Copies of this chain bind each other. A is one copy, B any other.
Amino acid sequence: MRWSEIGEQDCSVARTLSVIGDRWTMLVLREAFMRTRRFEDFQRNTGAPRPILSDRLRVLVDNGVLARSPYGNHPDRFEYRLTEKGLELYPVVVSLLTWGDRWMADSDGPPVALRHKACDRTMHPELACPECGEWVGARDISTASRGAQDGRHPRS
């Protein structure tokens, strides 16, 4: 199977990756969450080659994760902002950051700290069950696939 066909899998993880699973894309999103909006800034901060960045921004816009809107004129200039759909990728980016802080940090400690505005404390968000409020980890959850009687075998 080709990478370009992964979105066809009957799996929400695969379908998500078909939009944001490319190399560099996640770094573009990191920047977007850090309020980067312009091409040059995305390029400088992510380090992505220009043709790649150009392509990734296009894909994200086509998929409604970023919105491209004009901000200057003569010559026309555009900025890229997260849409509501894009903002909901925050848990993905934060989870990557949290894991990196825990397992990949060097002796200087985490490069960036997260502060919860409401309680004014530094922290790493964790997953909890919205039904009962308990914290959840890998061992607290089981999966049930939609019936396989349709001949397909969903993965997740």
A residues apposed to B, CB below 8 Å: 1, 3, 5-7, 9-19, 21-24, 26-27, 30-31, 33-34, 45, 47-49, 82, 85, 87-105, 108-119, 121-146, 154-156
Contacts and interface: CB of A to CB of B under 8 A. Distances in A.
Contacts of A82: 138
A88 B126 CA distance: 11
Given A88-B99, A111-B154, A114-B142, 13 more contacts: A5-B47, A12-B112, A13-B27, A13-B93, A18-B104, A23-B23, A108-B146, A110-B146, A121-B131, A123-B130, A126-B130, A127-B128, A128-B128
Contact of A131 (B34, B45, B101, B116): B116
A26 B17 contact: yes
B93 A118 contact: no
Contacts of A21: 23, 26
Label chain A's interface by main secondary structure. Answer: mixed
A110 to B, nearest CB: 6
Given A12-B112, A131-B123, A30 B156 contact: yes
A100 B114 CA distance: 25
Contact of A144 (B12, B113, B131): B113
A34 B143 CA distance: 8
A155 B30 contact: yes
Contacts of A33: 138
Contacts of A95: 89, 91-92, 95
